[in-house]
Amino acid sequence: MSYLGLVGLFGLIGLTGLLNKVHPSQSGSSIRLLGLLGLLGLVGLYIPTLGACGAFGALGVWNHQNTSIARLSYLGCLGVIGIVQTISFYL
């Protein structure tokens, strides 16, 4: 279970979308606010299953104009692990 807290730290990748601004004409600027979900990954240090849901924060850079940053958004799919583990833990 301790690895789940580390999975949530991938959500901090979403904060790079907030730091590296894109051209205003590119769509999806409001999606970059998902990067704030990456801060939920810090909760993973105390509650591992909930912290793994913070990996969804990486999805905020899915259409970034820098392709190397956009490729990192695939790590956001690991947030599904957090949802499944949270549901199974509380049921």
Kindly report, residue by residue over 79-89, the tens digit of the pLDDT: 888 888 888 87
pLDDT of residue 2: 65
pTM over 0.95: no
Kindly report, residue by residue over 15-74, the tens digit of the pLDDT: 887 777 777 777 766 777 777 777 877 877 788 777 777 888 888 888 888 888 888 888
Asked whether residue 1 carries a pLDDT value surpassing 70, the answer given is no
CA distances from 14 to 1, 2, 3, 85, 87 (A): 23, 22, 20, 22, 24
Q: Is 65 exposed, middle or buried (0-12, 13-18, 19+ CB in 10 A)?
A: exposed
